[in-house]
Amino acid sequence: MDIMSKAKRSALMASIKSSGTKPEKMLAKAFRAQGIRIKLVYGPEKIDIAIPKHKLAIFVDGCFWHQCPKHSHLPKSNRDYWLPKLEANKKRSKAKDQRLRRRGWSVVHIWEHSLASGSSAEKQALRVIVRFKLRRS
């Protein structure tokens, strides 16, 4: 028997979909552990991790989609398909940064590969906290 209403179920599915990937979750946890208040998938630009109090937008960039220099394995086949797709993704990300900066936000990008473990996520969170002088709220 289905004990969840349709509305509830779709709300749950939506929350699972938008709650982000694992590296983002680890980074979010690291900020929260430091007493920094964050918002996930925030605002019209869907900032991965936002710290509204400091107008700081943090994006976790996937190694494949954002073409990280270490791990961007461009597929050998279908390059004609992938190249424009990845280029478009880069452009979209840049345009997003520009829109945010114009509205007075600082933007930080963190590679997915630098969030491979809980302790590396902690390290990244601390770097951001020091760089932007974030305070507990």
Binding status of residue 73 toward Zn ion by CB under 5 A = no
Q: Which run of H or of E encompasses 11?
A: helix 6-18
User: Which one among 40, 41, 63, 126 touches Zn ion, defined by CB under 5 A?
Assistant: 63
Judged by CB under 5 A, the stretch of 14-22, 70-78, 79-87, 116-124 that binds Zn ion is 70-78
Nearest-5° Cα angle at 124, 122 to 125:
65
Q: Between 45 and 61, whose beta carbon lies closer to Zn ion?
A: 61
CB of 64 to Zn ion, least distance (A): 8
CB of 89 to Zn ion, least distance (A): 15
Question: DSSP letter at 34?
Answer: T
Tallying the residues shown for the chain, one arrives at: 137
Judged by CB under 5 A, the stretch of 81-89, 98-106, 113-121, 129-137 that binds Zn ion is 113-121
CA 2 – CA 80 distance, rounded (Å): 45
Six-digit token string for 40: 């996930």
Binding status of residue 70 toward Zn ion by CB under 5 A = yes
Q: How far is CA 123 from the centre of its chain?
A: 16
Applying the rule CB under 5 A, the residues between 19 and 58 that interact with Zn ion are: none
